[in-house]
């Protein structure tokens, strides 16, 4: 049941970009919706936010890909016992 939610070895790129896109839509959309629902005031995103947030999501996905690749690689990390 949980397995389809997690990344599969070697399939990092698509997973990370889909996840980052989903999180961006959820957080950005959720923020605007919550502000509208609970304060009654419609919040309009600034041009800087419209550019900065997708760039931030893209960087988030790149670091996520790097993290997953690093964890799945056989190269040992600091403190590894593998080389012992």
Partner 1 sequence: MLDALAPWYMQIKLVHMLAVMVWLFSTAVGYQNYLVPAFKAWIAAPSDTQTIAMRNLAMERFDRGVILEHIAFPVIMITGPILWVLSGYGANSDWFVLKMLIVFGIFLPIEIADYHLSHFRGSKKRHRLAGDMDEYERNIRLHWRFLVTVTWPIMFFGLLVVGLAVLKPQFT
Nearest to 19, CA basis, from 58, 49, 71, 52: 58
47: contact with partner 1 by CB under 8 A: no
Element housing 17 (H / E): helix 12-39
What sign has the CA pseudo-torsion 38, 44, 49, 55?
positive
Residue 9 near residue 65 (C-beta atoms within 8 A): no
Contact map string, positions 55 to 74, toward partner 1, x by CB under 8 A: -----x--xx--xx--xxxx
Contact map string, positions 5 to 44, toward partner 1, x by CB under 8 A: xxxxx-----x---x---x--xx--xx--xx-xxx---x-
Give the residues lining the site for partner 1 (CB under 8 A).
2-3, 5-9, 15, 19, 23, 26-27, 30-31, 34-35, 37-39, 43, 49, 60, 63-64, 67-68, 71-82
């Amino acid at each position: 049941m949980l397995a389809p939610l997690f990344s599969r070895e070697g399939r990092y790129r698509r997973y990370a970009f889909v996840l980052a896109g989903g999180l961006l839509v959820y957080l950005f959309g959720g923020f605007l919706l919550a502000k509208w629902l609970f304060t009654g005031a419609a919040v309009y995103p600034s041009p800087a936010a419209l550019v900065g947030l997708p760039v931030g999501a893209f960087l988030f996905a790149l670091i996520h890909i790097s993290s997953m690749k690093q964890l799945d690689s056989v190269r040992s990390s600091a403190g590894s016992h593998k080389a012992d």
